[in-house]
Amino acid sequence: NAGVMQNPRHLVRRRGQEARLRCSPVKGHSHVYWYRQLPEEGLKFMVYLQKENIIDESGMPKERFSAEFPKEGPSILRIQQVVRGDSAAYFCASSPPASWETQYFGPGTRLLVL
């Protein structure tokens, strides 16, 4: 019974490079959520996706960040031209249809921007 999987677990990038974070939801879950946790902070909602649709991106920065959840394959959070302030832990969660409150979280990807 595989839970939410995220890879890579750790990612180091230099300023200006691109970061791609992957999330494979629990099998059968069609809803994916991305959260970011800065040091000493709580998790902050970024985006909520269903297969091939962005439902709520109210927490996404206006520039450089994008997310997708294609029909096949994992959900991807993409950060272009990373800056030091992007260094954080990025968590993905998934839930079954019509059961948003049961969000299962992955172990997170820790992004470090040098």
Partner 1 sequence: DQQVKQNSPSLSVQEGRISILNCDYTNSMFDYFLWYKKYPAEGPTFLISISSIKDKNEDGRFTVFLNKSAKHLSLHIVPSQPGDSAVYFCAARAGGSQGNLIFGKGTKLSVKP
Using CB under 8 A, list all residues that contact partner 1.
4, 31, 33, 35, 40-45, 48, 55-56, 58-59, 91, 93, 95, 100-108
If DSSP states are collapsed to H, E and C, what string results for the chain?
CCCCEEECCEEEECCCCCEEEEEECCCCCCEEEEEEECCCCCEEEEEEEECCEEEECCCCCCCCEEEECCCCCCEEEEECCCCHHHCEEEEEEEECCCCCCCCEECCCEEEEEC
Question: C-beta of 16: minimal distance to partner 1 in Å?
Answer: 28
For partner 1, give the closer residue by CB, 18 or 52: 52
Question: C-beta of 35: minimal distance to partner 1 in Å?
Answer: 8
For partner 1, give the closer residue by CB, 17 or 112: 112
For partner 1, give the closer residue by CB, 17 or 74: 74
